Amino acid sequence: MAFFSLSQAFNSILAAFLLILSLRALVLFWVSPLQAYRKLQRGGFRGPSPRFPLGNIEEMTKKKEDVSSFDSTHNTIISHDIHSTVFPYFARWQKSHGKVFIYWLGTEPFLYIADPEFLKKMSTGVQGKSWGKPTVFRDDRQPMFGNGLVMVEGDEWVRHRHVITPAFSPANLKAMVDLMMEPATKMLDGWMAMINTGNPEIDVEREIIETAGEIIAKTSFGLGNQKGRKVFKKLREMQITLFNSNRYVGVPFSKFMSPKQNLKAKKLGEEIDDLLLSIISARKDSMVTDSAPQKDLLGLLMEESRLDGRKGKSLTTRELVDECKTFFFGGHETTALALTWTLLLLALHPEWQEQLREEIHEVIPDKTIDFTKLPGLKKMGRVMNEALRLYSPAPNAHRQAREDIKVDDLVIPDGTNMWIDVVAIHHDRDLWGEDVNEFRPERFTDDIYGGCKHKMGFLPFGFGGRMCVGRNLSAMEYKVVLTLILTRFSFSLSPTYRHSPSHLLSLRPQHGLPLVFRPL
Ligand code: HEM
């Protein structure tokens, strides 16, 4: 009898527990999102109708048609008018709802923005520290960025940014050119070896992403020892694991749909953290005896933290670990894709390959690349801007409102997620004119906005106080690697290339980028 009442009591507790859990889930996934949606509607916003629990995801994940098309001689046809290819659903919804509307990722409402004037009005008066990042993305990308600069908010962001910004100063970047040369030269030696064995066709996307990973690892935390190499290998493995896991961000319990990948990413994350912690601790020990810090980003941050420590603003060891991961995940694929898309554009425009070679010859006649000469590569800078405009590696930016924001007679409520469609803005005919989809680097000759009618129409590195902190480093890497490629090879598009720019976290060529190389 006593046993019976004990099991009855246990069942009641279990039932109460399950009820509380269900109520919490109901509030979290139904009541709160609905309240947020109603608020947005009251604020004056509209959009496509969502369906519980996927929101608008079904339409967004509909299998994309392969857009590669071929001319009569079976050559792939390439159009730079890519918005409706990369984001077909946004292009469709724009037609019925305009350039600002609400859509749903699972149970999370998002405000879609493709209007720079709206963006300007929305962000005027909001400081970098007063923006949040959408909670769903913060949770999803926790293994990659932890509490690194990309994700932190408020006063914490101010403290991180304050310590990190000086590490990217020109004086500090100067020493990094040498760190870039070796991996890039190794890659090009490999290409030469392939050509010499009769294989001149190379998938440059894969090659450059790998090399850029090595460069960012070298410039972030060093690869001079076994531990640094191990971190690099594991970071790459983690990226592939996360990439292959379920991406239904915003859908309740979607994390549990790829348990194997999530467990693997978690384990890799712990191993990476342990390795980075031991690298940092070894460096701390050597700092006591050795007065000259290592000149990679970690060394610079540790030095900056040591100096700032006196003012109580230093980064903790745990935060240094997260920043190393942040630089790797935020910095290598983006830079690699800027280079990859540039090579596509230059393969289509051999006359620009020639122009850049002439410029390199004028600016660096002795072929010795050093930091002071890179700003002289002005045409190359314009080519970079034009490539970033047509094929922005970061195709969108995110924000979350931390207060009610008024834009004319509309109100964006506190807590609203925002998705800024950079691809749409960069391809907007109203902003850029009739030649919007043409490769014309000269549009950036006397105008840093590339002739765009709106000052917030060119956003490859984001906007406001949260703009990319690594943009000078990436420009430097871009110029070093492109100079090395152009002085050793000319190249054309392989007939096997299929043009299908896709949103795979960043903007990537879905089928890689095979080019045919000839040594000069
Ligand atoms: C072509 C290369 C790159 C592109 C296109 C790019 C793009 C971006 C974009 C769009 C943002 C978000 C800005 C915003 O929300 O307004 C960002 C932020 C950031 N990027 Fe980059 N990035 C590049 C290279 C790098 C490199 C090389 C590093 C570091 C080594 C880096 C580190 C960061 C960090 C830490 C942030 C967060 C800044 C903050 O929130 O304060 N990026 N980047």
Mean pLDDT of 501-511: 90
Other Cβ atoms less than 10 A from the Cβ of 273: the count is 17
Has residue 74 got a pLDDT over 70? Answer: no
Q: In the prediction, which pLDDT does 4 show?
A: 61
Q: Is the CB of 330 under 6 A from ligand 1?
A: yes
pLDDT of residue 272: 93
d(CA 256, CA 275): 28
Q: Ligand 1: distance of its center to the CA of 109 in Å? A: 25
- pLDDT tens for 450-475 read 999 999 999 999 999 999 999 999 99
Structure tokens given for 337: 């894709």
More confident residue, 333 or 17: 333
How close is the Cα of 420 to the center of ligand 1, in Å? 15
Is the confidence at residue 246, as pLDDT, over 80?
Answer: no
Q: Is the CB of 50 under 6 A from ligand 1?
A: no
Look over the chain and give the mean of its residue pLDDT values, rounded to a whole number: 89
Which residue's alpha carbon is nearest to atom 26 within ligand 1?
A: 331
Which position has the higher pLDDT, 69 or 18?
18
Going by pLDDT thresholds of 50, 70 and 90, the confidence category of residue 141 is confident
Q: What is the pLDDT of residue 14?
A: 83
326 lines ligand 1 (CB under 6 A): yes
pLDDT in the model for residue 71:
61
| Segment 336-379, tens digit of pLDDT | 999 999 999 999 999 999 999 999 999 999 989 999 999 999 99
Q: State if residue 461 touches ligand 1 by the CB under 6 angstroms criterion.
A: yes
Query: What pLDDT, on a 0 to 100 scale, did the predictor assign at position 68?
Result: 58
Question: With 60 as the cut, is the pLDDT of residue 1 above it?
Answer: no
Centroid of ligand 1 to alpha carbon of 461 (angstroms): 6
Q: How confident is the model at residue 65 (pLDDT cuts 50, 70, 90)?
A: low
The mean pLDDT value for 408-437 works out to 95
Alpha-carbon gap, residue 350 to 490, rounded angstroms: 8
Please indicate whether residue 3 or residue 80 has the higher confidence score (pLDDT): 80
Residue 139 Cα to ligand 1 middle (Å): 19
Which of 216-220, 375-379, 386-390 shows the lowest mean pLDDT across its residues? 216-220
Q: Is the CB of 463 under 6 A from ligand 1?
A: yes
CA distances to 56, 112, 248, 255, 332 from 25, in Å: 20, 26, 18, 15, 38
Contact 387, 335 (CB under 8 A): no
Report which protein residue has its CA nearest ligand 1's atom 37. Answer: 150
Q: What is the pLDDT of residues 182-207, one digit of tens each?
A: 999 999 999 999 999 999 999 999 99
- Among 163-167, 288-292, 479-483, top mean pLDDT goes to 479-483
| Burial class, 381, CB count within 10 angstroms (exposed 0-12 / middle 13-18 / buried 19+) | middle
What are the Cα distances from residue 129, in Å, to 132, 141, 164, 327, 438? Answer: 8, 20, 15, 20, 37
Sorting pLDDT into bands at 50, 70 and 90, what band is 295?
confident
Confidence bin at 114 (pLDDT 50/70/90) = very high
pLDDT level of residue 137 (50, 70, 90 thresholds): confident
Confidence of residue 208 (pLDDT cuts 50, 70, 90): very high
* pLDDT score recorded for residue 39: 84
Q: What percent of the chain has pLDDT over 90?
A: 62
Cα 416 to ligand 1 centre (Å)? 22
Reply yes or no on whether the pLDDT at 288 is more than 70: no
Question: What percent of the chain is predicted at pLDDT more than 70?
Answer: 92
- pLDDT at residue 236, as a whole number: 85
Rounded distance between C-alpha atoms, residue 440 and residue 378, angstroms: 14
Handedness of CA 159, 160, 163, 165 (dihedral sign): negative
Q: Please state the rounded mean pLDDT for residues 273-287.
A: 87
**pLDDT band (50, 70, 90) for residue 312:** low
Helix residue ranges, H only, 310-401: 317-348, 350-363, 378-390
For ligand 1, mutation pick of 221, 315, 422, 468 (most atoms within 8 Å of CB): 468
What pLDDT is recorded for position 24? Answer: 80
Distance 334 CA to ligand 1 centre (A): 8
Residue nearest to atom 14 of ligand 1 (CA): 462
**209 contacts 393 by C-beta, under 8 angstroms:** no
Total-model pTM: 0.92
pLDDT value at 291 more than 90: no
Atom of ligand 1 nearest to the CA of 326: 35
Q: Name the residue with the closest Cα to ligand 1, atom 12.
A: 462
**Which atom of ligand 1 is nearest to 161's Cα?**
41
CA dist 101 to 110, 114, 255, 331, Å?
8, 9, 27, 30
319 versus 246: which is more confidently predicted? Answer: 319
Quickly tell me which residue has 């960012």 as its tokens. Answer: 216
Which atom of ligand 1 lies at the shortest distance from residue 332's CA? 27
pLDDT at 132: 94
Whether 44 shows a pLDDT value over 80: the answer reads: yes
Say if ligand 1 is within 6 A of residue 468 CB: yes
Q: How far is Cα 249 from Cα 183, in angstroms, rounded to an integer?
A: 35
Ligand 1 site-directed mutation target among 461, 478, 479, most atoms within 8 Å of CB:
461
Cα within 13 Å of Cα(410), Cβ side: 14
Ligand 1 pocket, 469 CB below 6 A?
A: yes
Residue 54 has pLDDT above 60, yes or no: yes
Give me the pLDDT at residue 22, please.
Answer: 80
Q: Which residue lies with its CA nearest to atom 19 of ligand 1?
A: 468
User: Ligand 1 centroid to 429 CA: how many Å?
Assistant: 26
Of 14 and 470, the structure prediction assigns the larger pLDDT to 470
